[in-house]
Structure 1
Amino acid sequence: MVHRCPGDDAFGPVLGAGPSGECYNFDFALVFEESIFSLAPCAIVLPAAALRLYYIWGRKVVVQWQLLRAIKLAIFTMQCIFQLALLGLWGSGHGIVTRTTVASGTLSFLSTAVLLVLSDYDHRLSVRPSALIQAFLISTAVVDLPRIRTQWLLDNNNNTTVASLFTVTFVLRLTLLVTESVQKWKHATIPPDQIPPEMRQGVIGRTLFWWLNPMFLEGYRKNLTMDDLFAIDDGLKGTILYERLLKSWKIGMHPY
């Protein structure tokens, strides 16, 4: 176990060994972890979530999967409760508290609360899993690993409870990532043949091009024909692109 180190209140990023060698050089300073690994992602996701809500506001409901919706809301609510408990412990002086701890906990709680609302709307109004929520959960889950290690290494009589709650929030974050990655298109009001495979994928599937695997397998077995190709997004169809081109052409021919 390591004791409270003088470098924890500095930005760091490296903590340093301390005057008596009581700290690990491998560790980040707490202020650095809370600023870069918590405050920064939350400061980015809050306005991004607000913009996403504004963008999808007023859309028609296209997904009717109440079970998955209830599971997501339940897990998000649990995450809010545990983060609020963490914030209460830090506010009452439990664990190691720096000048950024309370701000970090507050923004984390607010981010989860806002994402709860976004998840509910995005679940019902979009066929595709929420890319914003997935990206936030992936990035914060990765950077939470060194933060969990730090919390368990801190030598403080009251820090075991804080470390345990922090670990629970990490597990809930991973659970949310799994539920937010579940495809919803089978429960959509839109006919399946009108939903291109790319539109069914979240940020992970689109990044890894998983939606192309069935076509690759089919092409391995036989020569592909036009009937084997996927439907394309409405915005990429020739009729729509032709209308856009014609409109732009007319504007270019008669700019005034």
Structure 2
Amino acid sequence: MAQFDGIEALCDGQFWADGSFINGSAVPNFTTCFQHTVLVFVPCAFFWLLFPIFLAQLHRIRVKKDYTSLHWSALLCIKCVLTIILGILSLFILGKSIYSLERDETVPTINFIYPSILFVTMVGISACIVLAKIHGMVTSGILHLTWIVFLICGAPEFYAWLQRVSTSELLENTELARCIAYLIWYPIVVVQAFLFCFADPRRRWITELTMKYNRSPELDSSFLNRLTLWWFNPIPIVGARKDLELEDLFQLNEGNTSAYLIPRWEALWLPAMQKYNEKKQRLINEDTSIAYRKQTSKSDGLKVESDGVALETKSEVKPPSIVWRLFLMFRYEILTATAVKLMSDVLQFASPFLLKYELKSLFLFQNVTLKS
């Protein structure tokens, strides 16, 4: 296709013309060009677009100084080592392409680009893991979702290599190296997506304090745990056995306590009330002056006007809005929840239209895509 000429020149092949996909196989097969461009660039771009948000989260934790750094637990070490292995595999694929080029073999330009991007991304993820360890961040939704996107986008290439291996198709030396590297790469990505479902443990003394004072485990739980509210399970379990008492409940997180919220509220409310009182006092003084001048004019039998308008008492000053101050206080939480609710409503609204296209004549992956 003419619109893909630039990409096809990089790949030295077709971008969107795989016959097995067009003819409708049970599982879609994408072209090698599509696998090494879109299916590589999407997860990498996803990570780098959210990287500034990750740094902002770290900055917020550093300012609050709530937690000390994490220790090198077995889980944290495995996460870091596996990410480094993925970076090494990316360098291996890049090195193999350079070696093939030196042997005067034809190597598509994309074979130098996509492993380089993968290597830089793995370096970035490794840096994020170390930074999270230093600042005491036990979990990161950005890193977890990044591995999920890698898992989804990497499945077509993994399936394509399995197809070629299962049919005993002969592979050239370069393709064989890439095949072996990817058959190692993708299972590691699957393992990483699973490992990031768990939070990195804090130091033992912090864990002991949490248990001793019955602190809420929410902030020590993983991203997936918080999404599913799995950390809250002990409360209903205890409630099913006996009536809940105050001692059975978790302590409030610091961000939900009055000691934290009252200063934030006063920082917004007190200046607004001060401005309101100043305006009100100014209005009272002006009304007093106007009333005095009216009384004087009546006693003299005169009608006094100011700028051509009869002197009248001004309307009262409106008090500051409580709702607006509450919005300013929780603006990030409200905006985030509103955006999520909006996306949910749009998906619910579009669901009947998408399900209308679900047909028995469609293949499994097409129906699954429409349902999801």
Establish whether TM, by shorter chain, passes 0.5: yes
Measure how far apart 1:165 and its partner are. 0.8
Q: Show CA shifts across 1:175-232 (max 9, x none).
A: 3334444433442654324853221222211222211222221122122222222233
Q: Answer yes or no: is 1:70 the counterpart of 2:77.
A: yes
Give 2:122's aligned residue.
112
- Match runs of 1:190-229 below 5 Å: 190=206, 191-192=209-210, 193=213, 196-229=216-249
Q: Given the superposition, is the C-alpha separation of residues 25 and 186 from structure 1 closer, same or farther in structure 2, using an over 3 Å criterion?
A: closer
Name which of 260, 269, 278 aligns with 1:240. Answer: 260
Q: Answer yes or no: is 1:42 the counterpart of 2:58.
A: no
Instruction: Provide the alpha-carbon RMSD of the alignment.
Output: 3.5
- Match runs of 1:78-157 below 5 Å: 78-93=85-100, 100-153=110-163, 156-157=171-172
Q: Answer yes or no: is 1:174 the counterpart of 2:190.
A: yes
AA at the equivalent of 2:252: I
TM-score for the superposition, normalised by structure 2: 0.57
Secondary structure, aligned partner of 2:70:
coil
TM-score for the superposition, normalised by structure 1: 0.79
The farther-off stretch of 66-75 and 226-235 is: 66-75
Measure how far apart 1:136 and its partner are. 0.8
Distance 1:234 1:47 in 2: 30
AA at the equivalent of 1:16: G
Secondary structure, aligned partner of 1:231:
coil
Distance 2:89 2:129 in 1: 18
Secondary structure, aligned partner of 2:19:
coil
By relative contact order (CA 8 Å, sep 6+), the higher-ranking structure is 1
Distance 1:226 1:194 in 2: 11
The farther-off stretch of 214-223 and 50-59 is: 50-59
Distance 1:80 1:47 in 2: 20
Report the identity percentage: 19
Measure how far apart 1:111 and its partner are. 0.8
- Please list every run of 5 or more consecutive structure 1 residues that lacks an aligned counterpart in the other structure: 1-6
Secondary structure, aligned partner of 2:48:
helix
AA at the equivalent of 1:121: L
Distance 1:211 1:135 in 2: 20
Secondary structure, aligned partner of 1:9:
coil
The farther-off stretch of 28-37 and 179-188 is: 179-188
Q: Show CA shifts across 1:100-121 (max 9, x none).
A: 4432221111111111111012
Q: Show CA shifts across 1:124-146 (max 9, x none).
A: 32242222211111221122111
CA contact (8 A) 2:139 2:221 kept: yes
The farther-off stretch of 214-223 and 187-196 is: 187-196
Secondary structure, aligned partner of 1:65:
coil
AA at the equivalent of 1:214: P
The farther-off stretch of 150-159 and 116-125 is: 150-159
The farther-off stretch of 184-193 and 239-248 is: 184-193
Q: Given the superposition, is the C-alpha separation of residues 9 and 240 from structure 1 closer, same or farther in structure 2, using an over 3 Å criterion?
A: same
Q: Show CA shifts across 1:79-120 (max 9, x none).
A: 211121122224445999655443222111111111111101
AA at the equivalent of 1:215: I
